[in-house]
Amino acid sequence: MSTDLYSLENQENSTSKNTFTWIKCNESTSAQKVYFYHNKDKTQWAIEGLIGSYKDKNLLGYHFNIPYEEGDITKTYNLTSEFVAYHSTDSPGHETQTYRAEEAEVTISINTFTERATGSFKATFREQSAHMNVTGDFEMYYIQKEYL
């Protein structure tokens, strides 16, 4: 993942209208923090939703990157390592585990003129991390400032 999540976690989530929800293990979750931004060079869009925090050792989130384009675009992307899941574990070091999707499909409509994006996603992970398999959707009303 090309984003420093530790620094993102401290950013104000000023986009309260943005939504990112997922279904994992038959349980629906709405992200507490949602990020929609591009990198400094404008080569990638990043969309991310998470709950919990590193500090409280209860972080769970999904993040994906897609190629940057401007205009009014609707596309479906087949992703692998660009789609990442992460969560804190209750292990001795309270580490955060990161999982890269074996395959993922993201369908997205982005309009950079209105700063709006909507879409859906589905990702499957390798057998040992199948508990992170997910489907979900998102609706973004505002592009945040670049983070990278």
C-beta of residue 146 within 8 angstroms of C-beta of residue 4: no
pLDDT in tens, the chain (148 residues): 344 433 444 454 445 689 999 999 999 999 999 999 988 888 999 999 999 988 888 899 999 999 999 999 999 999 999 999 999 877 776 688 899 999 999 999 999 999 899 999 999 999 989 999 999 999 998 877 655 4
pTM to 2 decimal places: 0.85
Burial tier of 46 (Cβ tally within 10 Å: 0-12, 13-18, 19+): buried
Beta bridge partners of 64: 47, 83
Residue 89 tokens read as 């574990």
* Tally of CB atoms within 10 A around 62: 27
